[in-house]
Chains A and B, each alone.
Chain A
Amino acid sequence: MRRRPLTDRISRAAIVPMILTGLLAILLCISLLVPLIWCLYASFKDQVDYAISAFGWPTSWHPENYSNVFAKMLIRVLTKNGLSEFGLFDLLTHSIVYSTLSPLLGILFTMLMAYVISMYRNPFSKFLYGFGIVLMILPIVGNLPASMQINKALGRYDNMFLWILLSPAGCFSGMNFLLFYQLFRGVPKDYAEAARIDGAGHYRVMCTIYLPNAVSLAAVTYILSFLGVWNDWSTFVIWLPSYPNLAYGMYIFQYQASQFRATQPEILASFIIAMIPTSLLYLSMQKLIVQKLQIGGLKG
């Protein structure tokens, strides 16, 4: 830990507001933890106990609820090989692969597009920027049939890798794009010009001077995208039926509980299981974010 400079003491005028802010934030956090804690202890309840008093402390503890989830959560889908059954580990694998790769590609292309559009100002890039914003506004209705046709014709339907590979279509639109765009706009251009005069090419300028500035933001947006994608089940229902992921499994498990003979506490147990990987990821990445991923770049 770097020691805080001595002079950076809280100023008197800021004491009360900061205490209030802290209190509010801590209160918020506690309120966010309450459902989580409830979910945790209630997942050890017996079903009758749960039905009689959902929020009481368990009268008896049932860790077998967790093993039951593993035994009961078997998702049956039709794949190219035939009728297949996917257990929790299979679902988890699909989730990991998809959530790792898909944002990786997405963020990379978003970053590149944002760089080019913000640095090379010409009518075309200006148009793309504006168009990107229009895309964010325009609600699209009933495009599923057409979309299905095209994706099937190109073999992207139900092919996870092709699906991921061909996904950065809208990478010049949306929150991540705007954040990168603003970031690159904020970086002074003189360094690039100096480097250019020294004979550096476009790629080299981009890779050595500008992109390092964006690593921190890239990491942050990557984590956010990862978490978002991790919980996405509708893509898998509609587009990748042969690769059910954890979110999809959870969705079915919850909505057709009686088919799986799942009890309410078991459903809560499955919630807890599903949040373990993402929590671990965030906890490990969180350190990195705080430690500033600013690498060798320039300061604005």
Chain B
Amino acid sequence: MKKRWMASLFALVLGGVSLLTGCKGNVIEKIDPNRTQIYVSVYDGGYGTDWLTQIKQQFENDNPKYQVIITPGQGADITEYSSSLNYNIYFTTTSPSFKQLVAKNLVADISDLYESPLKNSGETKPLKEKVLQYDLVKQAYSYPGKTGIYGLPYTSSVGGFVYDHGIFKENIENGWLWTATAADEEAVKAQGISCHVQGEYLIFDSATKRTNYTAGDIILRAGKDGVYGTYDDGQPETLAEWKILFTRINQTSTAVPVVYSESFGYEYTLPVLKAIFAQYEGLKNNEIFYTYTGEYNGRQITPQTGNLVYEMEGLQQALDFYEYSIVSKDNARIPAQSDHRGAQNDFLLWDQRSNADKKGAMLVEGIWWEYEARTMFDSLENTGNSNYKYGTRDYRYMLFPEIPGQKGIDGEGNGTVMAVQDSGTVLIANKGDQNFIDMCKLFVSYTLRDENLKQFTLSTGTPKPYKYSLSDEELAKMTKFQRSVWDMYQDSENIYILNTTLLDYTAPISFSTKLGSSRFTAYVNEEAGRGTYNYPVEMRVRNISKETWLEGMKWYARENWAGYYETSKPLYEVK
């Protein structure tokens, strides 16, 4: 018995060892000893690495002495490796550990990249004029006491309420969308759209510009941008209308207005809160909320007294809206399957689900969701639902309504804020050799060329936070949803893309402490749900009122502020 046991074990080991010597995986790209390697790590949270392949070819053709090796980041955050950056260039999510790497001199200064036009690209404008919100970016990627700029924006993807425009259109009779009326005919025609009146509706015929109508469509109200045929047509504009929409969905269908997933929903619903706050308080006050520096209602706020920002009126407003749209069990639903697919299914399988099953009319998700769910669309198509072929459904974002008394994005009450859910950063590791760093910078600059930015957007459907444009033919290659997202991003007059991560980066008290991740944390001191909670969704889970939550946030901030300030103080004192 013993012998057989030992023998089989031995054979197993031997077999394993021999297999291993012959097993090195399938080498896709060999390290070329005659060239210098640039190792690039790409965290592919929904964007993949395909978009970089072409850029790599381009770069290697131009610089034959270098080889670029692209590795998908495996989800492990750079934090874990903060002592040793293994790669030379990182395309990664933005996390506070980045700032720490800068503090330790592990990240290369790339400020010169911003100052001049991209090398050999034929472009004439310096990069700082190409990157969106440059002033914020510059501040965010700098570090107290250092002169450089240490990062570049990679992605800036918003989250919010997605709805299926097709299904809403089917419910026009039920009042899910606001339509244009015969009285609007002149205005519609003035915008280059020809149409005719049919009953109480205006019917679209043709247009001289790109619109999202096809002949025979009922023309909807222009939306907050005042332009017909754009991404926000037919949507509620005021808070009152928003509530009317919710009531109508509840009354005329078996669906619940909003659906979001448990495990991600906690994070995914935060942009709603942030956006409403910013929209109400205006961008200037919003900045104070994240940097704790400035004057609010005649009161000077400094990092030391930063918890005063919890007195801001906007917080109350944001919580009101959040309670109505996210917390309320009548208006929002969390499916039992707690991952993001659960919520996506409730929303996406609208036609496949029987009416007995709960559905969600609007999904709280980021702009990548359709791309992420593409296998589901493929499966639907394969099972005889050709109207669910990937890219054919007309998904759009439902803009947040105007809140009474809001300052808006122009300080005068106009415009919509969309808050970023996923913010990405490009950084170059500093390993001492300046010539090599320059080559890395050159490679990064390739990714920022117009043609490559376009390529990124076309292959991932995601806009990058830079100024570049897509032609109508290029836009036609994207899905309807991606097109509407693109239009929304381009409309800087009406839409402000709020990246709170970058704002956090500008304030040491935010990035060097836990404040950044516990900004909406509340300590609840009530019999029922005593405890400290990080996410406002817990109001729903534990039946906590918004008033209690607000008080809890104030309390928590007050209790912890001295500690936050103490930790970050040295960084404020650096000159």
Contacts and interface: CB of A to CB of B under 8 A. Distances in A.
A148 B25 CA distance: 25
B19 A52 contact: no
Contacts of B385: 48
Interface stretch (B74-82, B251-259, B564-572): B74-82
Contact of A100 (B12, B23, B353): B12
B478 to A, nearest CB: 18
A100 B13 contact: yes
A264 interface: yes
Interface in A15-67: 46-48, 51-52, 54
Interface residues of chain A: helix, strand, loop or mixed (majority): helix
B369 to A, nearest CB: 10
B24 interface: yes
B334 interface: no
B72 A259 contact: yes
B184 to A, nearest CB: 41
B288 interface: no
A62 to B, nearest CB: 10
A78 B20 contact: no
Interface string B72-97: 10111000111110000000000000
A82 B72 contact: no
Residue with the highest number of chain A CB atoms closer than 10 Å, among B20, B76, B383: B20
Given A46-B383, A77-B71, A148-B83, A51 B345 contact: yes
Interface stretch (A83-91, A166-174, A268-276): A83-91
Contact of A93 (B23, B345, B352, B374): B23
Interface stretch (B26-34, B240-248, B265-273): B26-34
Given A258-B373, A261-B375, A82 B31 contact: yes
Interface in B27-59: 27-31, 39, 44, 46, 48
A271 B15 CA distance: 24
Contact of A256 (B31, B75, B371, B379): B75
Given A52-B352, A100-B13, A264 B341 contact: yes
B24 A81 contact: yes
A277 B81 CA distance: 33
Contacts of B31: 80-82
A104 interface: yes
Interface in A278-300: 288, 291, 293, 295
Contact of B19 (A96, A261, A262): A96
B337 interface: yes
Contacts, number: 138
B233 to A, nearest CB: 30
A263 interface: yes
Nearest to B39: A78
B44 A256 contact: yes
Contacts of A97: 13, 16-17, 19-20
A160 to B, nearest CB: 8
Contacts of A101: 13, 16
Contacts of B16: 93, 96-97, 100-101
Interface residues of A, number: 50
A46 B25 contact: no
A293 B5 CA distance: 10
B375 A262 contact: yes
Contacts of A76: 28, 71-72
A85 B26 contact: yes
A255 interface: yes
Interface in A77-122: 77-87, 89-90, 93-94, 96-97, 100-101, 104
A137 interface: no
Interface string B519-549: 0000000000000000000000000000000
Contacts of B23: 89-90, 93-94
A162 interface: no
A164 B19 CA distance: 17
Contacts of B29: 82-83
Contacts of A86: 25-26
Given A78-B39, A85-B25, A295-B2, A258 B46 contact: yes
Interface of B: 1-2, 5, 9, 12-13, 15-17, 19-20, 23-31, 39, 44, 46, 48, 69-72, 74-76, 80-84, 337, 341, 345, 349, 352-353, 357, 371-376, 379-380, 383, 385
23 contacts: A46-B379, A47-B379, A48-B385, A52-B352, A76-B28, A77-B25, A79-B24, A81-B24, A81-B31, A83-B29, A84-B26, A85-B25, A85-B27, A93-B19, A94-B23, A100-B13, A145-B84, A149-B83, A237-B76, A256-B44, A259-B72, A263-B376, A295-B2
Interface of A: 46-48, 51-52, 54, 76-87, 89-90, 93-94, 96-97, 100-101, 104, 144-145, 148-149, 152, 160, 215, 219, 237-238, 252, 255-256, 258-259, 261-264, 288, 291, 293, 295
